[in-house]
Amino acid sequence: MNHLDTETKRKLREMNAGDLLDAIDTQDESLAISLPFGERVKLAVDDAYATFTHSKVTGLVRRAGLRYPNADLRRIDLLDQRGLDRHLLTQLGSCSFIGRQQNVVFHGFTGSGKSYLGCATAKRACEHRIRAHYIRMPDLEEAWVAAADKPGGAGKFLRKYAAYTLLVLDEWLLDRPGESMRGMLLELMERRYGLASTVFCTQYQQKDWHQRLGSGVHADAIMDRIIHNAIWVDTGSYTMREHTADKDHPPSRT
C-alpha cells in the first residue's frame, strides 16, 4: 500500500489529502505486510487524522490571541492554598458550559491568576475545536473606538466579536466604561446571549458591577444578560505572581 505511483500521489495532494499520503509513506513496511488491507488503511487514516487535528488546534490557539498560550486547566498550581474547586475546574475543562451557552466569571485579587485561568479555559475550548478569542478590555475599547469612526465599522465590529463561540474579556471593569462603550457592551452581550459563552476576568465582585457600569439602565441590561446563567469562580487572594517569582528566583542558601 505504501508503494504508490506518482500520479496517485499527485491526486491525493490535489485533493488536500497530503496528511494521509504522508501517513502512508511513513507506514512501517513490515507492519504493512503483516496487516490486512483494511487495518493498514485504518492506521494510515488515524495517523493522518491526528496530524489534521493537531494542526487545527494549533491554528485555533494561535488565532485566539491568548496572553498565556501554554495555560492549562489540568496543571493549576496550589489548588488548595488558593481555595480553587478542582471539580469545578474539571467541569470547565470539559467545555460543557459552552454547549449550554453559560458564562464564566473569574473574580479575585490582583495577581490571583484570573488571566491565566481565562486563557486556560479558552485553550481547552480550542482543544475541543471550538473557536475562542481572548482580549483585554482596554484593547477591546481601542478597537471599538477605531471601528466606530469608520462607515459600517460598528456593525462589522459587533459581528466579529459576537461570532466567537467563546470570548474571554480580561480586566473586566478595571476602567469604568463611558457611554459609547456601555452601549456597545449592551449590544454585544445581547447578540451573544443564549448563543455563545463569555468569560469575564475581574477583580470586582458582582455587587460592584452595577456602579462601575454607570448605575443606569445600561448597567441593568448588561448585567441581566451576564449574571443569571454565569458560573462564578473565586480565585482568592493568593498572589500567584509572587509564587512564580519565588520559583524563578529561589532564595540563596548561606
Write the secondary structure of 15-70 as one string of H (helix), E (strand) and C (coil).
Answer: CCCHHHHHHHHCCCHHHHHHCCHHHHHHHHHHHHHHHHHHHHHHHHHHHHCCCCCC
* pLDDT of the residue at 34: 62
Mean pLDDT by 10 residues, the chain (254 residues): 67 70 66 65 67 78 95 78 80 95 94 92 94 98 97 97 98 96 97 97 96 94 94 80 47 38
Instruction: Confirm if 197 and 164 have CB atoms less than 8 A apart.
Output: no
Burial of 121 (0-12, 13-18, 19+ CB in 10 A): buried
* pLDDT of the residue at 172: 98
* pLDDT of the residue at 224: 96
Within the chain, what is the greatest distance between any pair of CA atoms?
Answer: 74
* pLDDT of the residue at 36: 75
Torsion of Cα atoms, 62 then 65 then 71 then 73, to 10°:
-100
In the chain, where are the structural domains located?
A: 6-63, 81-246
Nearest to 84 by CA among 45, 39, 62, 114: 114
* pLDDT of the residue at 50: 62
Nearest to 65 by CA among 4, 9, 115: 115
- One-letter amino acid of 250: P
* pLDDT of the residue at 251: 42
Q: Is 81-246 a CATH 3.40.50.300 domain?
A: yes
* pLDDT of the residue at 246: 46
**Model's pTM, two decimal places?**
0.76
Q: Give the Cα separation of 240 and 35 in Å (integer).
A: 53
